[in-house]
Amino acid sequence: MAPFCNWMKSYLCCRNSAACGEKQKRSHLHCGCRERRKQLKMTCESAGFGNDRQILVDAESADDVLEYNFVNGQIKRWEIGEPTTPFHQVLDQQLNPHSHIIINGTVLQHALSFTLNLCIKKKNGIAFHFNPRFDQAYTARNSLFDGKWGKEEGISHQGFPFCRNESFTLEIFLTHDEFMVAVNGLHYCSFVYRFPLLDIDYIEIIGDIILKRIVFDSADKYPHSLRGNNSKLSQKICQIRMEPQSHIITECVNKLTPFIGLLEKPLNSGSEIEISGTVRLLPYVFSINLQQGSNVYPHPIINLHVSIRFNQLAHAGNHVVLCNAWNNDQGWGTEEFAPSECPFVPGSDFVFKVLCRDSDFVAWVNDRPLFTFKHRFDFKRIDTIYVQGEMFIKHVKVFL
């Protein structure tokens, strides 16, 4: 098995120095070079909740998408204020990675659905079909080619984010691989390209919404709304020095996920993080990241990724807790399963604690040891706590 893994790791490395600069073996995940067309495409085993178990998929359909060199060019910014619905607009410039579309609007009081299509008029196709449906609390994503719809996708990173009679900000960011969609500043879903970006030449928005503003621009980071540490989307967490005679602890409270906690100071050896919450009644998965940066793109370095999965080994009555880490050179590393029995129970409260030591992280749940995870990167650069999935947060505390 090891020789195969080593061969595959080499096979997926980029050898195009012109595209990747001095990094002769940069991962193909975001390099966008022509060599990548000949390789296999990395994708997640599950589209939901950022499953980090990567698998290889034959990417014949992706060959055409990557038929040209991706060049991160700046597009000319344009903005339309108070556009009418339905909205139809020919795109007078080509979309490319880092193209960025922001749509501000309000959902009508009795809305049933609305649709955004990025179209290929010359081929009578739709490269990206985004269709929130209020009666189902569900968002369909798909593509249309030669009069036939492709495979519909519906799994998202959070619950249905739109509400009737409320305003929203819809953000579409283009990477080298996929459309990334954020709603109200939080990443919602992704959709892997099925057509070349160069072919997209038209946008249309129809349905039960009132449009306020549409902006086309370029961006280096996503989601855009997280820039400047937007207090509505992220919370600053004040570290508190533990004192034996002190029982007063400042808390950061947020009952919703995703939760983004921004540390005022980096972690040190001896720092401890405590997360108190409640698992939902019918959970699928939730995860806790200690990472460097709060953006979804570029991918943050994740020093510790704890994934609690309730759908695995269900036949044995067990749940799974696994740990991993992510960096720019290797992507996800080797998964490590917690040796202890999973202590998280659907519908029950829990207190998760993790202690940062010189050589590793040590974690407990409800004062019972859970796992030890050796450092793979410099833990002193951690500045963000990111929690997502099917749980409610009561508080997050950080102790120096």
Residue 372: per-residue pLDDT: 98
pLDDT at 266: 84
Under the banding of pLDDT at 50, 70 and 90, the label for residue 319 is confident
Fold for domain 78-218? Jelly Rolls (2.60.120)
Q: pLDDT-derived band of residue 236, with 50, 70 and 90 as boundaries?
A: low
> By mean pLDDT, which of 134-138, 231-235, 243-247, 351-355 is the weakest?
243-247
Kindly report the CATH number that applies to the domain delimited by 232-399.
2.60.120.200
Q: In the numeric block, which tokens belong to residue 171? A: 């953000």
pLDDT band of residue 253 (cuts 50, 70, 90) is low
What is the pTM assigned to this prediction? 0.74
Cα–Cα distance measured from residue 174 to residue 274, given in angstroms and rounded to the nearest whole number: 36
- pLDDT confidence of residue 40: 33
Could you tell me the pLDDT band of residue 74, with boundaries at 50, 70 and 90? low
**Per-residue model confidence as pLDDT tens digits over 125-155:** 999 999 999 999 999 999 999 999 999 999 8
Residue 6: is its pLDDT beyond 90? no
Instruction: Name the residue ranges covered by the structural domains of the chain.
Output: 78-218, 232-399
**Cβ(376)–Cβ(327) below 8 Å:** yes
Domains 78-218 and 232-399 share a fold: yes
263 versus 244: the higher-pLDDT residue is 263
Helix, strand and coil percent figures for the chain, each rounded to 5:
10, 45, 45
* Spatial CA neighbour of 342 closest among 302, 394, 283: 283
Average pLDDT in the chain: 80
Bond into 161 cis (ω within 30):
no
Give percent above pLDDT 70 in the chain.
Answer: 72
